[in-house]
Structure 1
Amino acid sequence: MTAAGNAEQTKALILDAAMEEFSAYGIAGARVDRIARRVGCNKNLLYVYFGNKETLFTTVLERNLKKVYEEIEFTPDDLPRYATAVFDFAMAHPDLMRLMLWSSLEQGADRLEARADAHSDKIRAMAPASGGTPHAPAFRGAFLLTAIMAIATAWSAASPFGPTLDPDAPNQPEALREEVSKAVALLAGPSFGGGGADRGAGG
């Protein structure tokens, strides 16, 4: 393998080890020497490749958020379907959910341009359907998207609510998934693919 190939492989190993470290301890609690030990390299190499610990954290977060953009299709005409896709992803990726929580706690406002752009695109995609009916009041796109994300991730590793208030629910994931779908269907209304409490999961 070439020197460049070795460097890329080492970077990938560092990012994998850093994911484990940051998701467990956040930025402040993470230790570069522990990451280096997992990889089997000198910790100075991490600074050579990434500059500092916060840049390494941001790189890890951006790398893993790509999975969200690639694996979860946004369906503005069927928001219950989107919500269940988010639910499935959040439950399957606890490390990433903890990483996002640490980012919110330690970095404050969302500073990832790609993530902000993705959110803006979703809100714009919902705008043409806005307006509501007497049975489905209209919500601002930003509020509706926030509410959907809150419901869909309420039982994930990043939430202080579902795992504490309803700890047995994840033992029946299909029933919980269906409840997420029904809740979003009621919230979204017919303009966004909802409109009835009898809507099944994935609908």
Structure 2
Amino acid sequence: MTAAGNAEQTKARILEAALEEFSAYGIAGARVDRIARRVGCNKNLLYIYFGNKEALFTTVLERNLEKVYEEIPFTPDDLPGYAAAVFDFAMSHPDLMRLMLWSSLEQDPDRVTTRSESRAGKLRTMPAASDEGEPGRGFRGGFLLTVIMALATAWSAASPFGPTLDPEAVDRPEGLREDVARAVALLAGRPHGAGGDAGH
């Protein structure tokens, strides 16, 4: 393998180890030397490749969010289906959910450009749908998007509510997923399944 190939493999291993470290400890509590030990490299490599600890955190978050946006396209014509897809992802990726929580606590929100660009793109489509009554009942696009994301992630590893207020629900994930989609359908003012199958 070429030196460039080795470097890319090392970077990939660093990012994987950093996800584990940052999701557990956040930016302030994470230790670069622990990440380096997991990878089996000199910690100076982390600074050479990524600059500093916060830049490494941002790189880990940005790369994982890009995967999220690729895997879960926003569907304003099927908000219940979108909520169900977000629920599935949130429940199966606890490390990333914790990473997003740490980002909210420790970072300037505008620093994570992937996240802000995705939000702006969603909001551009929400008002157009709202004008046609489709997500109806007069909810603002930003409010409706916030409620959808809150519902879809309420039982994830990053939430203080679902796992403590309704812990039994996680034992029936299919039913919980359906409840989330049905609640979003009611908020959107349209029958569950209209404009797409929220149960797919």
> Are the equivalent residues in 2 in contact too, given 1:80–1:184 (CA < 8 A)?
yes
CA distance in 1, matches of 2:175, 2:192: 18
Runs of 4+ residues over 6 Å off in structure 1? none
Question: Structure 1: which 5+ runs fail to align?
Answer: none
- The one-character-per-residue Cα deviations of 1:65-89 (angstroms, maximum 9, x if unpaired) are 1121111021101100000000000
Structure 2 counterparts to residues 85-100 of structure 1, below 5 A = 85-100=85-100
Q: Which residue of 1 aligns with 2:107?
A: 107
Deviations 1:9-52 (A, max 9, x none): 11111111001000000000000000000001111111111110
Contact residue 80 and residue 185 of structure 2 kept, 8 A: yes
**1:10-25 mapped onto 2 (5 Å cutoff):** 10-25=10-25
- Equivalent in the alignment of 1:158: 158
Question: Whole-Å Cα distance in 1 between the matches of residues 178 and 36 of structure 2?
Answer: 43
Match of 1:42 in 2: 42
Matches within 5 A, 1:122-201: 122-131=122-131, 136-190=136-190, 194=192, 201=198
How far off is 1:140 after superposition?
A: 0.7
Contact map agreement 1:23 1:102 (CA 8 A) in 2: yes
Q: What TM-score does the superposition give when structure 2 sets the normalisation length? A: 0.92
Deviation at 1:201, TM superposition (A): 4.8
Residue pair 2:192, 2:198 contacting (<8 A) in 1 also:
no
- Any conservation in 2 of the 1:186–1:195 contact (CA below 8 Å)? no
Matched residues in 2 for 1:148 and 1:61: separation? Answer: 21
State the shift of 1:132 in Å.
7.2
Displacement of 1:194: 5.0
Q: Please tell me the root mean square deviation across aligned C-alpha atoms, in Å.
A: 2.0
- Structure 2 segments unaligned to the other structure (5+ residues): none
In structure 2, how many angstroms separate the alpha carbons of the residues matched to 1:141 and 1:73? 17
Count of aligned positions? 197
Q: Which amino acid aligns with 2:145?
A: L
State TM-score, norm by structure 1: 0.91
The answer to whether residue 49 in structure 2 is matched with residue 52 in structure 1 is: no
Q: Partner residue of 1:27?
A: 27
Contact 2:21/2:35 (8 A) holds in 1: yes
Per-residue CA deviation, residues 53-106 of structure 1 (Å, 9 max, x unaligned), is 000000000111112111102110110000000000000100000000000000
C-alpha spacing 1:201/1:176, structure 2 compared with 1 (3 Å): farther
